[in-house]
């Protein structure tokens, strides 16, 4: 019998670390607390994933409120990896007194407390069994991360965080309404006395859910969680929030938070896939997927701001994941889930290295950055690798998952969507190479790069976590990870 | 009968908030609406013997009727927000839009058949109307403060739907949702203060620099 207490500890650790970070006596103490909180979380996630792989899903807590299966395990793994990498980078970027961006101690304490609480709410998303609790956790992520987006108190960051708060909260209110409709659908299946919002119960009763109510519920859930996932045309908050947030937070938003919203939709998809002759969710995933990749491709071409460029790439990749889920089958879902991990690692890598570049160049405007590969060989090389990976060049991991998704599309007969995806990928490939080749390979700049570099140990460690995923998973899938992906696919399609 | 009366108050408060120009009056309308929703929770709790719903009612009274309106009035006073609202559309159009929201909800919710199993489900179209009116407010008001009022209105609509459909989601969930609402109010207050400090106004119109 698996021991569920690690799943509870995983919630307790970041929450407790947030509390300790708030009263840390020194910068060193605050840095150490945050790193320890994230590192212990990662170890716990490894333990939980090991349990899931050997003895199956875990039900935890009073009334089975928490439930951790392979799909949860995958999300938790991705979140804890990106979380630790972002916090390690934060130590260099904001934490050390010698860094050009160093925060004063009281603000640093706040920063770490918010980041750790953000991790806590995201872990809760991954562990919630009750879909009401899942909603509470996701709304929690909005509230904490809005504070992080607006952390610098600049006019632009206040604007970005306000838009983010309002748009995502409106979206999530729709999602709460959709969740209530799920309950109503369960009433239609089992009567009002036995109805529940537990995912495990809804999965069991899925074949008897009322299709009319489920359709309406899905409309509200996709509007709500789709806003949060950055699906076009609901994505308008995303480039603002990603570009104005402190760099490590941008990485967390793009790599972690968007996946939490997709995860919520996957949980719902798993329910609808067990309803007979019900394809509405597939249709929604395909539609949002196509609109997202097309719109993002257009904005990527005209983008000049480095962080906004990366943000639009997130819209594109959320579209790709959505298409993978929509194409469905073992292949499509395997590709989509694999892509969630690959995109998270690649995008976090690019945000972190891109933040380094922007801070050395003194601007985020790509037209003004040139010759970074010679001026900053380390950062430049990471950006170069990350850029190629993001553009879908083999042998990187993003290529592998995109290839699986495309294959699933063509094999499943979804020709139109697959061709649109292929064209969009080609446009994005060209756009990204155009932007990055000038910034990285162009003539050495006249204005020069700042020589005032802070320490880079944390950054190196953070990238050391992410780069093996970006590069390695494209050529070699370790057996436990492949098993986790496989089990997660089974959770969705049953 | 009492249930219908409370439902009418909820709907009327939502509609009046669309046509009333003074922000302070809108706060009172929000408090009144919340009180009526709490009343519905108490009534349903008695009529259908669901004691937990009385706790929901208590939470709504504490938070939506007392604490949040108090917080909103403090924000109005501290930030010296001008008392009249700024709208992108006229009062007459807003009033019509309110009616449109009602018709739309009846048209969408009416045909759902399993509702017959739930005695209080007649409240659902009203709940959806309140959500839509809140959305309309958030989208068409220029002041960031009014956008918060719109969101709070939307949440009230969802609470009403929750009471009508589920007779209470269980204590833990309701405490969680209430805590989220409370934090939302606090975070909004924080941002409104920052906005005032930075831009010297809380008109969302100034938030236009990030585009493309």
C-alpha triplet B129, B132, B133: angle, nearest 5°: 85
C-alpha triplet A409, A410, A414: angle, nearest 5°: 60
ipTM of predicted complex? 0.93
d(CA B191, CA A150): 9
d(CA B74, CA B72): 5
Is the pLDDT higher at B22 or at B85?
B22
Contact A162 B191 (CB under 8 A): yes
Strand, coil or helix: what is A398? helix
d(CA A86, CA A82): 6
Looking at the 3D structure of chain A, how many domains does it have? 1
Which DSSP symbol is given to A58?
A: E
Check: CB of residue A67 under 8 Å from CB of residue A199.
Answer: yes
Helix, strand, coil fractions of chain B, as percent rounded to 5? 80, 5, 15
Given a cut of 50, the residues of chain A with pLDDT beneath it are: 1
Which are the contacts of B8, defined by CB distance < 8 A and separation ≥ 6? none
Q: Which domain holds residue A360?
A: 5-493
Tell me the pLDDT of chain B averaged across its residues: 87
Check: CB of residue B5 under 8 Å from CB of residue B69.
Answer: no
Which are the contacts of A99, defined by CB distance < 8 A and separation ≥ 6? A92, A93, A454, A455
**What are the pLDDT digits (tens) for B59-110?**
999 999 999 999 999 998 988 888 777 677 788 888 888 899 989 988 888 7
Check: CB of residue A297 under 8 Å from CB of residue A277.
Answer: no
Report, as an integer, the average pLDDT of B40-55: 89
Contact B210 A176 (CB under 8 A): no
List the single best residue of B44, B151, B165, B210 to mutate versus A (max A Cβ within 10 A): B210
The pLDDT assigned to A2 comes to 52
d(CA A88, CA A247): 12
List the single best residue of A137, A143, A157, A180 to mutate versus B (max B Cβ within 10 A): A180
d(CA A465, CA A443): 32
**What are the pLDDT digits (tens) for A80-120?**
999 999 999 999 889 888 887 889 999 999 999 999 999 99
Contact A176 B194 (CB under 8 A): no
Residue A92's H or E segment, with its range, is none
d(CA A225, CA A375): 42
Cα A269 to Cα A13, A52, B23: the distances in Å are 31, 21, 42
The pLDDT assigned to B152 comes to 95
Q: Tell me which residue of A412, A404, A421, A400 sits closest to A475, measured CA to CA.
A: A400
How many beta-carbon pairs under 8 angstroms link A with B?
A: 131
**What are the pLDDT digits (tens) for B170-210?**
778 888 888 899 999 999 998 888 888 888 877 777 776 77
d(CA A351, CA A305): 12
Strand ranges, E, within B34-171:
none
Contact B118 A187 (CB under 8 A): yes
d(CA A294, CA A316): 8
The pLDDT assigned to B42 comes to 93
Q: Tell me which residue of B52, B12, B46 sits closest to B32, measured CA to CA.
A: B12
Q: Tokens for A11, please give them.
A: 């919630």
Q: How far is A464 from chain B (nearest CA, A)?
A: 33
The pLDDT assigned to A1 comes to 42
């Amino acid at each position: 019998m698996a021991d569920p207490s690690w799943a509870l500890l995983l919630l307790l650790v970041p929450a407790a670390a947030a509390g300790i970070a708030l009263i840390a006596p020194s910068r060193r103490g605050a840095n150490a607390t945050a790193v320890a909180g994230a590192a212990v979380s990662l170890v716990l996630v490894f333990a939980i994933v090991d349990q899931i792989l050997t003895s199956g899903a875990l039900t935890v807590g009073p009334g089975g409120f928490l439930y951790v299966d392979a799909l949860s395990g995958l999300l938790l793994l991705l979140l804890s990896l990106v979380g630790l990498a972002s916090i390690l980078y934060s130590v260099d970027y904001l934490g050390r007194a010698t860094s050009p961006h160093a925060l004063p101690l009281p603000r640093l304490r706040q920063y770490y407390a918010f980041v750790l609480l953000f991790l806590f709410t995201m872990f809760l998303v991954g562990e919630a069994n009750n879909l009401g609790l899942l909603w509470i956790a996701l709304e929690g992520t909005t509230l904490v991360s809005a504070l992080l987006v607006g952390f610098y108190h600049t006019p632009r960051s206040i604007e970005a965080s306000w838009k983010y708060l309002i748009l995502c909260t409106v979206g999530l209110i729709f999602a709460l309404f959709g969740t209530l409709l799920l309950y109503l659908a369960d009433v239609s299946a089992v009567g009002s006395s036995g109805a529940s919002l537990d995912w495990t119960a809804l999965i069991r009763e899925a074949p008897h859910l009322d299709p009319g109510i489920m359709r309406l519920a899905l409309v509200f859930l996709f509007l709500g969680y789709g806003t949060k996932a950055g699906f076009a045309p609901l994505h308008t908050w995303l480039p603002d929030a990603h570009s104005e947030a402190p760099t490590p937070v941008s990485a967390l938003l793009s790599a972690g938070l968007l996946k939490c919203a997709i995860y919520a939709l996957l949980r719902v998809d798993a329910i609808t896939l067990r309803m007979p002759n019900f394809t509405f969710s597939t249709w929604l995933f395909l539609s949002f997927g196509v609109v997202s990749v097309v719109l993002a491709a257009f904005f990527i071409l005209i983008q000049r701001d480095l962080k906004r460029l990366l943000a639009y790439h997130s819209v594109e990749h959320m579209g790709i994941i959505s298409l993978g889920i929509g194409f469905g089958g073992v292949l499509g879902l395997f590709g989509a889930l694999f892509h969630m991990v690959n995109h998270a690692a690649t995008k976090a890598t690019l945000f972190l290295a891109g933040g380094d570049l922007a801070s050395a160049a003194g601007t985020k405007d790509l037209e003004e950055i040139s010759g970074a590969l010679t001026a900053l060989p380390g950062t430049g090389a990471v950006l170069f690798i990350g850029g190629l990976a993001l553009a879908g060049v083999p042998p990187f991991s993003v290529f592998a998952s995109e290839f699986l998704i495309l294959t699933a599309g063509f094999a499943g007969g979804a020709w139109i969507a697959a061709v649109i995806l292929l064209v969009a990928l080609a446009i994005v490939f060209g756009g990204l190479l155009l932007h990055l080749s000038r910034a990285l390979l162009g003539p050495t700049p006249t204005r020069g790069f700042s020589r005032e570099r802070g320490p880079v140990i944390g950054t190196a460690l953070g990238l050391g976590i992410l780069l093996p995923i970006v590069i390695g998973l494209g050529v070699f899938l370790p057996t436990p990870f492949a098993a986790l992906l496989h089990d997660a696919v089974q959770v969705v399609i049953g | 009968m009492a249930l219908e009366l409370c439902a009418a108050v909820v709907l009327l408060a939502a509609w009046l908030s669309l046509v009333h120009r003074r922000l302070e009056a809108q706060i009172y309308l929000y408090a009144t609406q919340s009180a009526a929703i709490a009343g519905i929770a108490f009534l349903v709790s008695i009529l259908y013997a669901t004691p937990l719903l009385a706790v929901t009612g208590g939470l709504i009274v504490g938070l939506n009727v007392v604490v949040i309106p108090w917080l909103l009035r403090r924000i109005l006073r501290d930030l010296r927000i001008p008392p009249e609202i700024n709208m992108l559309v006229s009062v007459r159009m807003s009033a019509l839009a309110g009616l449109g929201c009602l018709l739309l909800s009846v048209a969408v919710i009416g045909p759902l058949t399993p509702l017959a199993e739930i005695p209080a489900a007649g409240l659902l179209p009203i709940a959806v109307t309140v959500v839509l009116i809140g959305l309309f407010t958030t989208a068409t008001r220029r002041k960031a403060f009014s956008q918060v009022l719109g969101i709070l209105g939307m949440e009230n609509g969802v609470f009403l739907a929750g009471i009508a459909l589920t007779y209470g989601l269980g204590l833990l969930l309701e405490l969680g949702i209430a805590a989220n609402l409370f934090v939302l109010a606090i975070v909004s207050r924080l941002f409104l203060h920052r906005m005032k400090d930075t831009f010297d106004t809380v008109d969302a119109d100034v938030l236009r620099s990030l585009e493309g």
